Structure 1
Amino acid sequence: MPGVLEHRLLDARLVLQLLPAAAYSARDPVQWQTLGVTLERQRGVHAIDSDHREDFDSWPGTLALTPKGVEVFSESLSGGEYLLARWQGEAPLIAGARRVQCPGHARALALGREMRRLLLAPVRDVLALEQCALAFIGLPQQQAGAVASMPRLELVLQQIADQYAQPLSLAQLAVTYGHNELRLLRDFRRAVGITPHAWITEVRLQAARRLLAHGDLPLAAIAQDCGFAHQSHLGSALRHSLGMTPRSYRQRFCIS
């Protein structure tokens, strides 16, 4: 997978960064307002405007707003793909004097995934990227409609992370959750922002992207190893998500 991808917009007042699923240790500059959305689950330790470190577990679809002046240190052994917008100067990103997190933000997740596609494109559509970025930084002014994460859904997320290469049914996930399929579907969408099926596809694509970027395993083998029915299934999923074929993705981002 690619490293950090960055694009500056609006005379460099707005900076978009696509952070990869890789180990990191970073401190955000306090002179910037930042708005980020988790595209892939992240776990590690962080310190928010203090030296006190604590564990964090950020689920996909979590929108985090950090006002100017609030310093954030974050460290993770595995990382997780993350879309971050940094804004310097006057901006609509107002959240008082503290950091605010909002899980299950479907609109933020959708915009984050679209900005990811635009940032990864061989030729960037600057107008589309700018419009998407402005819609993204306008989200804190809108009603999020999100709810707190449900604890037992952590077991479902972990099951998907562990078993994404296997056929997974809603019934199997519902057993893990301890409620029926309709309750699981409702709660998962509220906590993550997309359906379990869409998230399973995303996890499989993340795994496929890592394999495409490291080594020369045949595409059919990558599809099988990542839980896709066949090579064309992988191809259609990647084209729908990123607008690239597996071969074009490998040619552009292979680092081995």
Structure 2
Amino acid sequence: MLSQRLLGDRLCLQLLPRAAYSARDPAQWHTLGVTLERQQGVHAIDSDRRVDFDTLPGVLAHTPVGVEVFSESDSGGEYLLLRLDEQFARQHLPSVNHRVQSLGQSQALGWARTLRRLMLDPQPDGLALEHAALQLVGQASVQSDYRTPPKAFTRVLDQIAEQFHLPLSLEQLAATYGHNELRFLRDFTRTIGLTPHAYLIEVRLQAARRMIEQTDLPLANIALDAGFAHQSHMGSAFRKHLAMTPSQYRSRF
């Protein structure tokens, strides 16, 4: 886990890696969280009643102090967490007494991905981190009600998770969704906050990161196994989203 304290310790920024976990958050801070990867597991929100969850990328969750969250997952998923002290939260967050989360927060997801890139930098830019963190805080005021996505939508995500290494087309994904390409493109982008192509690149990027972290395979092989047409395409994705080359990323492990 990467962690940065900002604005004189009034904010604490954490980048949680994809890993199995079982955790109970005592909710001593106000928190904003953004899913960078799809996560599935079981959780209990301010109660002992555990329910299954399937949280999509681009979900923004606001949990106030006093709301306890238990969460457990066999695989986890990369997650950006921002904790705010009581005084700062009162000044900048909407007043809520329960956990609020909403789908398709493209702006929040964009700032979370920016924060990920900045945090992975060996020499993080403190000013840039504080700017991006404040922009993320600002997104809490534009949250909408959470909508459970239709099962056809989760079937599309399952297809991408299983076939990301293949050259998937919009026509194939729309067929799985059960609507025409234009309707699928609109619904997907609204629900996730990314276009299908951008989401596929993110899934491939995450797969490549895991292979780099866990294997000694040549980068050219990893690029192909992750679904990139060429090693240079993987390199472009790493530089754009992580601000480093695959070789630089490998040197961290």
- Equivalent residues in 2 for 1:110-149, closer than 5 Å: 110-142=110-142, 144=144, 148-149=148-149
Q: Is the 8 A contact 1:39 1:83 kept in 2?
A: yes
**Corresponding residue for 1:44?**
41
Task: Give the distance between the partners of 2:143 and 2:193, measured in 1 at CA.
Answer: 14
How many angstroms does 1:150 deviate by?
3.4
Considering only aligned residues, what root-mean-square deviation do their CA atoms show, in Å?
1.3
Q: What SS does the aligned partner of 1:22 have? A: coil
Q: Residue by residue, what CA displacement relative to the aligned partner does 1:131-152 show, whole Å, maximum 9, x if unpaired?
A: 1001111212236598653331
- Structure 2 distance, partners of 1:248, 1:178, is 42
Note the 1:159-238 alignment, pairs <5 A.
159-238=159-238
Q: SS at the partner of 1:35?
A: strand
Q: Is the 8 Å Cα contact of residues 48 and 72 (structure 1) preserved in structure 2?
A: yes
Answer whether contact 1:16 1:85 (CA < 8 A) is retained: yes
The residue that corresponds to 1:75 in the other structure is: 72
Count of residue pairs brought into register by the alignment = 250
Q: Which amino acid aligns with 1:103?
A: L
Instruction: Give yes or no for contact 2:33–2:62 (8 Å, CA) kept in 1.
Output: yes
Judge conservation of contact 2:39–2:73 (CA < 8 Å) in 1.
yes
Distance 1:7 1:194, change over 3 A: same
* Letter of the 1:82 counterpart: Y
Aligned to 1:9: 6
Query: Shift in Å at residue 13 of structure 1?
Result: 1.6
CA distance in 1, matches of 2:212, 2:117: 17
> Judging changes above 3 Å, is the alpha-carbon distance between structure 1 residues 54 and 143 closer, same or farther for their aligned structure 2 residues?
closer
Cα distance in 1 for residues equivalent to 2:35 and 2:95: 19
Amino acid at match of 1:48: I
Give the secondary-structure state (helix, strand or coil) at the position aligned to 1:11: coil
**Rounded Cα–Cα distance in structure 1 between residues aligned with 2:51 and 2:149:** 18
TM-aligned CA distance change 1:177 to 1:229, over 3 Å: same
State the alpha-carbon separation in 1 of the partners of residues 221 and 38 from structure 2. 25
> Matches of 1:95 and 1:223 in 2, distance apart?
46
Determine helix, strand or coil for the equivalent of 1:152.
Answer: helix
Correspondent of 2:84 among 81, 84, 87: 87
Gaps in structure 2 of 5+ consecutive residues: none
2:31·2:84 contact (CA, 8 Å) conserved in 1? yes
Check if 1:109 corresponds to 2:109.
yes
List, as ranges, runs of 4+ consecutive aligned residues in structure 1 with deviation greater than 6 Å: none
Aligned to 1:61: 58
TM-score if structure 2 supplies the norm length? 0.96
Q: Distance in 1 between matches of 2:174 and 2:141?
A: 35
Distance 1:143 1:31, change over 3 A: closer
Query: 1:21 and 2:18 equivalent?
Result: yes
1:229-248 maps to which residues of 2 (within 5 A)? 229-248=229-248
Measure the CA separation in 1 of the matches of 2:47 and 2:4: 30
More displaced stretch, 140-149 vs 213-222: 140-149
1:159 CA displacement: 0.4
8 Å CA contact 1:103–1:192 kept in 2: the answer is: yes
Distance 2:107 2:40 in 1: 22
